[in-house]
């Protein structure tokens, strides 16, 4: 074991003193060269005697040998780091489960997933990718153009699962919302965004889905509302509509609840005068009255697919989503439509 002496002058940073087991330790203990240890532990050990192989693997385990990422990166010229970019939106258990799945799947493939918010400053993102040289960046949401070109320029693989299906999932969500409303007899539809664009990463694609569904059904253009989760804003946006008898597809359940609350105060009957459909099937959507119609998605399954796609893309070189299955989506019909 090499006891690491910290550098002498600590002007900037205090270093911990690590006790590390290196490949040299393993090699000595096993009576082979470091090259042998490296090859055997990296799956290129076919050429070695099975006994040697076993011995090395056994000893590495006993010593709890963990190769240094820094050294490996330096030697290989690329890291095993994958950076996951989280949208700057409210998210709870669901999205976190997806990320956990991703973490584990990538870890099993020898890759390390590390997270960032996609909205943190471009500057710090640039530093991150320039210095860490991740193997890939996977973005849950649409990337800034500047970040995208940075990655292209550096030759860092970009994986964007949400763009990959033949019909992007967000377009489908909007379409399903609209088709449900149309099937309940509504002919005048609107789309309600979250006003803060940062929190509305999927809004544009979903609004497109609503618009396309309306066009296909021969309905007029859909007005676009923009509101925060706030009673005043909801009332104001509602007033822009030629009520009664409108149906609104909402960015998420919170937006729908804000509109629901405003409608109640304005004396509108829901769903007779105003129909609402949310998205996410949040627990609270089932606690308001009337209970909210919404859309539910099997996001865990989606996480698994995403993970597999990334592993495939990183290990196999393709970014295409050859499996053409789609994320399962389901309308949860309750009392607001």
Partner DNA sequence: CTGAAAGCGCTTACAG
Q: Which of 24, 58, 120, 239 binds a second copy (CB under 8 A)?
A: 120
Calpha distance 25→27 (Å, rounded): 5
Query: Which pair of structure tokens corresponds to residue 327?
Result: 């994320």
In angstroms, give the least distance from the CB of 26 to a second copy. Answer: 14
- Contacts with 13 (C-beta within 8 Å, 6 or more apart), sequence order: none
* Residue 317 touches which member of DNA, a second copy, none, C-beta under 5-8 Å by kind: a second copy
Structure tokens at 34: 């470091």
Give least dist CB 126 to DNA, A.
Answer: 15
Smallest distance from a second copy to CB 215, Å: 33
Taking residue 228's Cβ as centre, other Cβ atoms within 10 Å add up to: 14
- At closest approach, how far in Å is the CB of 293 from a second copy? 17
At which residue do the structure tokens 């489960």 appear? 97
Minimum CB separation of residue 61 from DNA in Å reads 14
Q: Which residue reads 């203990």 in tokens?
A: 29
* Interaction between residue 335 and a second copy (CB under 8 A): no
Q: Which is nearer to DNA, 65 or 186 (CB)?
A: 65
> Which residues are near DNA by CB under 7 A?
2, 4, 7-9, 20, 22-24, 31-39, 41-42, 44, 47-49, 52, 65, 67-68, 71-72, 74-77
What is the spatial distance between Cα 205 and Cα 223, in angstroms, rounded to a whole number? 15
Nearest to a second copy of 142, 180 (CB atom): 142
The number of CA neighbours under 13 Å toward the Cβ of 303 is: 18
Which residue, 16 or 49, has its beta carbon nearer to a second copy? Answer: 16
Binding mask 87-106 for a second copy (x = CB under 8 A): -xxxxxx--x--xx--xx--
Distance CA 68, CA 273 (A): 64
Tell me the backbone φ, ψ of residue 41, rounded to 5 degrees: -75, -15
In the chain, the largest separation of any two C-alpha atoms, in whole Å, equals 83
Contact of residue 92 among a second copy, DNA, none (CB under 5-8 Å per partner type): a second copy
> Is residue 3 a contact point for a second copy (CB under 8 A)?
no
């Amino acid at each position: 074991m090499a006891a690491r002496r910290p550098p002498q002058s600590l002007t900037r940073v205090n270093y911990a003193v690590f006790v590390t087991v290196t490949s040299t330790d393993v090699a000595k203990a096993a009576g082979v060269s470091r090259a042998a240890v490296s090859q055997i532990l990296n799956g290129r050990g076919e050429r070695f005697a099975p006994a040697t192989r076993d011995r090395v693997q056994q000893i590495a385990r006993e010593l709890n040998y963990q190769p240094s990422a820094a050294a490996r990166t330096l030697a290989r010229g690329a890291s095993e780091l994958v950076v996951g970019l989280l949208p700057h939106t409210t998210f709870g258990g669901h999205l976190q489960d997806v990320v956990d799945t991703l973490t584990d799947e990538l870890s099993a493939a020898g890759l390390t997933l590390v997270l960032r918010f996609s909205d943190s400053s471009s500057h710090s993102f640039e530093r991150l990718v320039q210095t860490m040289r991740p193997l890939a960046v996977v973005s849950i949401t649409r990337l800034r153009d500047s970040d995208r070109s940075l990655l292209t320029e550096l030759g860092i693989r970009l994986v964007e699962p949400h763009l990959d299906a033949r019909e992007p999932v967000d377009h489908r969500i909007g379409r399903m919302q609209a088709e449900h409303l149309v099937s309940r007899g509504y002919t005048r539809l609107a789309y309600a965004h979250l006003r803060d664009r940062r929190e509305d990463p999927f809004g544009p694609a979903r609004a497109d889905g609503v618009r396309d569904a309306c066009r296909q059904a021969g309905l007029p253009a859909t007005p676009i509302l923009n509101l925060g989760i706030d009673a005043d804003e909801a009332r104001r946006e509602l007033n822009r509509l030629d009520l009664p008898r409108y149906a609104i597809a909402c960015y998420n359940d919170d937006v729908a609840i804000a509109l629901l609350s405003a409608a109640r105060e304005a004396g509108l009957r829901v769903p007779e005068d105003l129909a609402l459909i949310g998205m996410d099937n949040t627990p609270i959507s089932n606690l308001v009255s009337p209970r909210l119609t919404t859309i539910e998605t099997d996001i865990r399954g989606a996480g698994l697919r995403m993970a597999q796609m990334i592993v495939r893309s990183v290990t196999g070189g393709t970014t295409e989503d050859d499996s053409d299955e789609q994320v399962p989506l389901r309308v949860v019909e309750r009392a607001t439509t």
